[in-house]
């Protein structure tokens, strides 16, 4: 459920008569609330959490997408274009596709979140709602109504007095880690969805992923947001993100279509199967950026490739070719670039034919032996990273990175 209505069920029942009257009123459409409904709306508003406009729009889009998919009796397919992660479920295979080719599929989206695309998606959701053949029940109608009102409210809360254009005023209310949140949610949902047999992760364009978008560190400083605040939130988000990999009970398959950097490499030790195209490279330049390893790589890499090779990657910034990654045990298969897509499709179809429950139970048994260790490693890595993100050494390293790339 999007809203915790069940927790407020007593109050919800108390206003049920008023709810029904509201729903029957000819003027009380979902999109044009007259004065008649205003008092009811403010009473119902207490039953739902306070959301920013963009959070409300995102939840509105997700709710309408679910209704459309349910009505069509088809696999749920949703595109989170505004966060650069496309999600689709087809014949038991959940595909998460990093789709920011202009940013080399960096994992953290820009703070402005492609706002115009976001509005277009919201408008399409409104059109889709009007085309539903089956009328939603009263509870769903109320959720839609409350989300719509919060999404279209004239009030735009800001945390400071900006002297910049309207579009920039929005970004402090957006989450700089939204792409991580969406990715995490999809992994958690996959574990609880019996329709999902496999989870695959790949990229669009020439890159698999260039890792963290380092503007995460620059934008807060430019807007006056304390870096300690961003580091604290980043630590929590990163912990949840990696924990979702550790706890996912469905087989995780990475299709490395091109160069992989940073966290897109360090989490590979938590996948169940990794396939690479032969032009791909694998790079973890943490020390150069004043940062420390994450994704449980401080534990998984020494196990996979041995401590000396792990040191070469994590301490001394060794960039691996696809062949080296195969030889070192970081990937399972390597295909030529011109055969990568077709070879991966055949491989995935073979995997999807395996007995899903047996596959899941087998993974659970294998993961149980070191699950607690991985969670402890994840916590230690995140704590150290949060400290590094606020350090002078890290700030200087990131600044030097942007100077080099801007030249």
Using a pLDDT cut of 90, give the percent of the chain over it: 49
Average pLDDT of the chain to the nearest whole number: 79
pLDDT for the residue 50: 64
Handedness of CA 380, 187, 175, 2 (dihedral sign): negative
Largest CA distance in the chain: 73
pLDDT band, very low/low/confident/very high, at 403 (cuts 50, 70, 90): confident
Q: What is the CA radius of gyration of the chain?
A: 23
Rounded mean pLDDT, 265-273: 98
Count Cα atoms within 13 angstroms, Cβ side, for 326: 14
For 264-301, the three-class secondary structure string (H helix, E strand, C coil) is HHHHHHHCCEEEEECCCEEECCCHHHCCCCCCCHHHHH
Whether 245 has a pLDDT exceeding 50, the answer reads yes
Helix runs in 197-262, H state only:
215-223, 227-247
Q: Nearest to residue 67, comparing CAs of 146, 16, 151, 2?
A: 2
Q: Nearest to residue 248, comparing CAs of 172, 193, 329, 323?
A: 193
CA-CA distance, 2 to 145, in Å (whole number)? 13
Rounded mean pLDDT, 232-249: 93
Whether 239 has a pLDDT exceeding 60, the answer reads yes
CA-CA distance, 186 to 97, in Å (whole number)? 12
Rounded mean pLDDT, 77-104: 80
- Among 79-88, 158-167, 325-334, 394-403, the range scoring the smallest mean pLDDT is 158-167
What's the pLDDT tens digit per position in 288-331?
A: 999 999 999 999 999 999 999 999 999 999 999 999 999 999 99
Whether 14 has a pLDDT exceeding 80, the answer reads no
Q: What fold does the segment set 84-113+170-406 form as a domain?
A: 2-enoyl-CoA Hydratase; Chain A, domain 1 (3.90.226)
Residue ranges matching CATH 3.90.226.10 in the chain: 84-113+170-406
Q: Say which residue, 382 or 125, is predicted with more confidence.
A: 382
CA-CA distance, 240 to 181, in Å (whole number)? 9
pLDDT band, very low/low/confident/very high, at 80 (cuts 50, 70, 90): very low
Residues 383-397 as b/e (b if ≥16 CB within 10 A, e otherwise) read ebbbebbbeeebbeb
């Amino acid at each position: 459920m999007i809203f915790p209505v069940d927790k407020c069920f007593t109050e919800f029942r108390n206003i049920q008569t008023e709810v029904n009257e509201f729903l029957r009123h000819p003027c009380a459409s979902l999109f044009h609330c007259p004065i008649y409904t205003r008092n009811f709306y403010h009473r119902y508003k207490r039953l739902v959490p306070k959301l920013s406009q963009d959070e409300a729009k995102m939840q509105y889009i997700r709710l309408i997408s679910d209704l459309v998919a349910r009505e069509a009796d088809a696999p749920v397919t949703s595109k989170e274009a505004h966060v650069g992660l496309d999600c689709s479920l087809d014949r038991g295979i959940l595909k998460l596709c990093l789709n920011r080719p202009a940013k080399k599929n960096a994992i953290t989206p820009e703070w402005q979140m492609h706002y115009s695309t976001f509005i277009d998606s919201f408008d399409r959701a409104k059109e889709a709602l009007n085309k539903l053949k089956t009328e939603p029940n009263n509870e769903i109608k109320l959720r839609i109504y409350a989300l719509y009102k919060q999404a279209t409210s004239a009030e735009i809360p800001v945390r400071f007095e900006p002297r910049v254009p309207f579009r920039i005023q929005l970004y402090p209310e957006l989450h700089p880690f939204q792409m991580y949140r969406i990715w995490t949610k999809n992994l958690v949902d996959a574990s609880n969805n019996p329709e999902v047999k496999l989870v695959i992760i790949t990229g669009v364009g020439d890159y698999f992923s260039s890792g963290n978008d380092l503007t995460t560190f620059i934008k807060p400083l430019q807007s006056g947001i304390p870096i300690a605040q961003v580091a604290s939130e980043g630590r929590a988000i990163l912990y949840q993100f990696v924990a979702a990999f550790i706890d996912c009970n469905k087989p995780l398959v990475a299709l490395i279509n091109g160069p992989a950097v940073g966290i897109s490499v360090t989490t590979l030790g938590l996948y169940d199967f990794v396939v690479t195209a032969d032009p791909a490279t694998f790079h973890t330049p943490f020390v150069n950026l004043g940062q420390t390893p994450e994704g449980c790589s401080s534990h998984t890499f020494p196990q996979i490739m041995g401590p000396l090779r792990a040191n070469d990657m994590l301490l001394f910034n060794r960039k691996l070719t696809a062949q080296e990654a195969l030889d070192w045990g970081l990937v399972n298969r390597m295909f030529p670039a011109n055969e990568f897509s077709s070879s991966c499709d055949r491989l995935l179809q073979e995997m999807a034919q395996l007995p899903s429950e047996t596959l899941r139970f087998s993974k659970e048994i294998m993961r149980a032996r070191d699950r607690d260790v991985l969670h402890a490693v994840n916590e230690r890595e995140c704590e150290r990273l949060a400290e590094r993100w606020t350090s002078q050494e890290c700030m200087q390293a990131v600044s030097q990175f942007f100077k080099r790339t801007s030249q």
